[in-house]
Amino acid sequence: MRSFSEIDTISKRASRAKGFSWGSAEEIGKSIKQLELFGLPGLKNLNQYLKIYDQNKFQKIKLVSKTNISENKSHCPISLGISFLDQIKSLEKLNSIELNKIAYPILFLSFASRASEVLGKKIFIKMDEKEFILNFNQSIFGNYFKNEIWESANIVLINFLDNNNSFSEQEWKEITKFANDTFVDETDELKEKSAGAGLTDND
């Protein structure tokens, strides 16, 4: 099995060889490593993407807006991912973002996952019928984990989720009461048992 370090390095070098800048190649290497760590086929999709990269003039996006529509070309997942990550603080204010025609959308997911960590919020992404929740770059939860090449997504919706607890304030109070039961009044006997090493010195 290849190590994550090897995956990072080979993805970076292959991307650089295809004409990406060293800075972009570094970001690609990190992203593919992250996808593989989360059990998603990052390297497989990057390999296929690089095979056709020279023949396809993908739409490169520098400024992500609320609605991003390409009439003919598919969006490049790399330029989209880097722009999304760079602009994440301002994009949050839009609440939701819509895109169309993303080539090899798996490659975009890791950039968005890292953006979730920067933002400190979960991000929900729906790509056609596939849905993903990005959890602060700790995990990607979704209904798609096939080890296959995913060539395109036609309709992509991105929503920034508010940070809310999954439990009520009443449940918090109840479990806090249970937790407080572990604290007992300290007696003289307990003080003696917990004070130092006693008469035995192991030094």
| pLDDT of res. 181 | 87
Q: Which amino acid is at 93?
A: K
**Angle of helix 77-86 versus helix 106-119 axis, rounded to 10:** 0
| pLDDT of res. 184 | 62
User: What residues form DSSP beta bridges with 131?
Assistant: 126
CA–CA separation, 38 and 107 (whole Å): 13
Determine the Cα angle at 104 with ends 99 and 105, to 5°.
Answer: 45
In a domain, 73, yes or no: yes
In a domain, 170, yes or no: no
pLDDT of 198 above 90: no
In a domain, 180, yes or no: no
In a domain, 183, yes or no: no
In a domain, 166, yes or no: no
In a domain, 59, yes or no: yes
Residue 126 pLDDT level (bands cut at 50, 70, 90): very high
Across the range 173-202, mean pLDDT stands at 70
CB 85 within 8 A of CB 114: yes
CB crowding 122-131: b at 16 or more within 10 Å, else e: bbbbebeebe
| pLDDT of res. 59 | 94
In a domain, 176, yes or no: no
Give me the number of domains the chain comprises: 1
CA–CA separation, 140 and 123 (whole Å): 10
User: Which CA distances in Å does 154 have to 29, 61, 115, 126, 130?
Assistant: 25, 16, 22, 11, 11
Residue 57 pLDDT level (bands cut at 50, 70, 90): confident
Which residue segment(s) compose the domain that 14 sits in?
4-160
Q: What is the pTM of this model?
A: 0.84
Q: Taking all residues of the chain, what is their mean pLDDT, rounded to a whole number?
A: 92
Across the range 129-141, mean pLDDT stands at 96
Looking from the CA of 47 toward its CB, the CA atoms found within 13 Å total 9
- Looking at the chain, the whole-number percentage of residues with pLDDT higher than 90 is 84
Across the range 51-67, mean pLDDT stands at 93
In a domain, 92, yes or no: yes
| pLDDT of res. 32 | 97
